[in-house]
């Protein structure tokens, strides 16, 4: 997997791009995350899947937005089939991070479980 990170829009947004191949070197993921911050609205984050030409809102207001504290970044997004996914980034350094995904079915009414 390869990863890149650049400032765009005169440093008002950040773009993270990554691509992933399988063992046969076939491209299986080609995605870009774009995020920006506004003091009035907070974080806006979008995820673009280039292989399927689809956009996904990450951390929309109806799911509580994006939560950032000293050691984690957490947000929820809506996936297919009435599934809500909560993503948490942790162990964040300048060159590394870990992440996990928790899943809730039935529009979040059932407790979150690790993916």
On whether the pTM is more than 0.85, the answer is no
Rounded to whole angstroms, how far apart are CA atoms 44 and 58?
8
The pLDDT of residue 115 is: 46
Of residues 5, 45, 49, the one with CA closest to residue 27: 49
19-73 per-position pLDDT tens digit: 889 999 999 989 888 888 877 877 888 889 999 998 988 888 888 888 888 889 8
Residue 74 corresponds to which tokens in the numbers above? 């957490």
- Strand 54-58 to strand 67-68: parallel, antiparallel, or no bridges (unpaired)? unpaired
Whole-Å CA distances, 40 to 24, 70, 114:
47, 21, 32
For 23: left if phi > 0, alpha if psi spans -120 to 50, otherwise beta; the answer is: alpha
62-110 per-position pLDDT tens digit: 888 888 888 898 988 887 777 888 889 888 877 777 888 888 766 555 5
pLDDT band for position 111 (50/70/90)? low
Rounded to whole angstroms, how far apart are CA atoms 27 and 20?
6
The pLDDT of residue 24 is: 95
- Whether 114 shows a pLDDT value over 70: the answer reads no
Of residues 78, 40, 39, the one with CA closest to residue 59: 78
Rounded to whole angstroms, how far apart are CA atoms 103 and 78?
10
1-13 per-position pLDDT tens digit: 566 666 777 777 8
């Amino acid at each position: 997997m390869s990863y890149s990170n650049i400032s765009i829009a005169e440093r008002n947004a950040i773009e993270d791009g990554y691509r992933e191949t399988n063992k046969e070197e076939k491209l299986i993921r080609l995605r870009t995350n774009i995020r920006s911050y506004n003091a009035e609205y907070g974080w806006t984050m979008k995820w673009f899947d280039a292989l399927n030409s689809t956009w996904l809102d990450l951390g929309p207001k109806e799911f509580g937005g994006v939560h950032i504290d000293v050691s984690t970044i957490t947000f929820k997004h809506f996936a297919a089939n009435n599934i809500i996914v909560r993503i948490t980034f942790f162990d964040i350094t300048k060159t590394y991070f870990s992440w996990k995904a928790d899943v809730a079915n039935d529009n979040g009414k059932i407790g979150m479980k690790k993916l």
